[in-house]
Amino acid sequence: MSPVDVFGRPQTVLLLGANSDIGLAIVARMVGPDGVAILAGRDPHRQPEPPLGYETHYRYFDAADTSSHEKFFAETFAEHPGIDTVVLAFGVLHNQDDVNDNPELAVEMIVVNHVGAGSALLHAAIQLRQRGGGQLVVLSSVAGLKPRRSNYVYGASKAGIDFLARGLTRSMATSDVRVLVVRPGFVHTKMTADMGPRPFAVTAETVAKAVVDGLARRDQVIWVPRILRWVMGVIRLLPPSMVDKLDA
């Protein structure tokens, strides 16, 4: 059974991170006019503006409450057996200066971005495997590829889910479940609205197009924009002192 229709569009997409600008942009690109979107988050009644132009359902999901994940995925897939794509787009980003003064903020980022995302990823993989196949889209970040003093806790939390998702790709190699790891750079969203301009910045819609194209190519990892693959290749070779200068 194919997880997409004859036009290559997923029939039913589960978005974890109902208020994520990037997640909503991905769903808008992936779901056809007859498709279904399930938006899951801690505020399931906060509907996106403008309203989505297809059948939409809302569910409560708390990434930090990992004890609830097994029940959430079992019930969601039972209610929507047509789910063929799961997008993990939730995350927490705190200013590193605030984190330095309040370690609880660091714990929150690690719990949500790594532990919670890892739990959700593994539970979703089980459900898709039992269904007979599907696609998992995991939002990582280039921040997880090289420690920087300006965001090393956020980077560490993203490095963890990036590593886990790539390992899951190998684990699922003999199944019909595919995993796509998305490594964007700076993206203009609500979460980054208070930050200044950044090089190679993109929009949520740019990330969404790259995701759809990557799925069509059956990629395992994509960079948005693509040039970041080569930029980060150079940065990873730099000594810490030079990386610190880039943060200045």
Tell me the domain boundaries of the chain.
Answer: 12-247
pLDDT attached to residue 202: 86
Residue 8 has pLDDT above 70, yes or no: no
Q: What is the mean pLDDT of residues 89-108?
A: 92
Active-site choice (58, 60, 152, 154): 154
pLDDT tens track for 14-47: 999 998 999 999 998 988 777 899 999 988 666 6
pLDDT tens track for 155-196: 999 999 999 999 999 999 888 999 999 999 877 676 665 665
pLDDT tens track for 217-226: 999 999 998 8
118 or 185, which is more confident: 118
129 falls in which pLDDT band (50, 70, 90)?
Answer: very high
210 falls in which pLDDT band (50, 70, 90)?
Answer: very high
Which own/partner contact pairs does 33-42 have at CB distance under 8 Å and 24+ positions apart? Answer: 35/9, 35/10, 35/11, 36/11, 36/12, 36/80, 36/82, 37/12, 37/13, 38/12, 38/13, 38/14, 38/76, 38/80, 38/83, 39/15, 40/14, 40/15, 40/16, 40/72, 40/76, 41/16, 41/17, 41/90
228 falls in which pLDDT band (50, 70, 90)?
Answer: confident
- State the CB neighbour count (10 A cutoff) for residue 67: 8
Q: 12-247: what fold?
A: Rossmann fold (3.40.50)
1 falls in which pLDDT band (50, 70, 90)?
Answer: very low
Tell me what the pLDDT averaged over the chain comes to. Answer: 86
Q: What percent of the chain has pLDDT over 90?
A: 58
Whether 58 is catalytic is no
51 falls in which pLDDT band (50, 70, 90)?
Answer: low
pLDDT tens track for 136-150: 999 999 888 777 777
**What element of type H or E holds 157?**
helix 152-171
